[in-house]
Amino acid sequence: MAEKKLLFVVQKHAASHLHYDFRLEIESVLASWAIPKGPSANPRIKRLAVATEDHPLDYARFEGVIPQGNYGAGTVMVWDIGTYTNIKMHNNKLVPIKDCLRNGQIEISLNGTKMHGNYALIKINKPAPGDWILIKMRDEHANQKDITKAYPDSALTGRSMSAIAQDKKIKSKKVSNK
């Protein structure tokens, strides 16, 4: 049986520190993790992923600037977007994704523009409670490439972070000229 395709998105977020927000559609919300160094396609590299608050599904396509004074103020880029399927098996049965999230043992196959193939997201509660790691599983999509550096721009619009930030400045100028 073909597994259901669900939404995933990675938003590059230049807040007080640059990080990558990794989000998975689970039961009609985006379960979310902040990854300071961003995802890697190299199975030898574990990336810290700090669990953060769920976001609404329609936030997945948000690209723009969160104004100063608001939570998460800074530029947000849709760095990658696509679909995922749950591949976590136990006793030859697929474990429902909701249970994977609760158990802290997620295995998924990603079909994005930059991220491809199988990844594991594992709750380790180290160095702090709520800390997970994201790691590429070994498959034909694993490679040594630093994907955050190789593909820095928006999956949605092709824009750079500075172009997105600039776009907002033009908009706010128009507003103030009214």
Mention every residue, 6+ apart, whose C-beta is less than 8 A from residue 7: 24, 25, 30, 57, 60, 81, 82, 83, 84
Q: Is 63 in the site for Mn ion (CB under 5 A)?
A: no
Nearer to Mn ion, 21 or 63 (CB): 21
Nearer to Mn ion, 86 or 154 (CB): 154
Q: Is 23 in the site for Mn ion (CB under 5 A)?
A: no
User: Interacting stretch for Mn ion, rule CB under 5 A, among 16-24, 78-86, 114-122, 143-151?
Assistant: 16-24
Q: What is the distance between the alpha carbons of residues 44 and 3, in angstroms, rounded to a whole number?
A: 28
Q: Is 47 in the site for Mn ion (CB under 5 A)?
A: no
User: Interacting stretch for Mn ion, rule CB under 5 A, among 15-23, 77-85, 138-146, 170-178?
Assistant: 15-23
* End-to-end CA, the chain: 56
Of 10, 12, 21, 49, the residue at the interface with Mn ion (CB under 5 A) is: 21
Q: What is the distance between the alpha carbons of residues 44 and 29, in angstroms, rounded to a whole number?
A: 30
Q: What is the distance between the alpha carbons of residues 40 and 147, in angstroms, rounded to a whole number?
A: 6
User: Interacting stretch for Mn ion, rule CB under 5 A, among 11-19, 59-67, 131-139, 168-176?
Assistant: 11-19
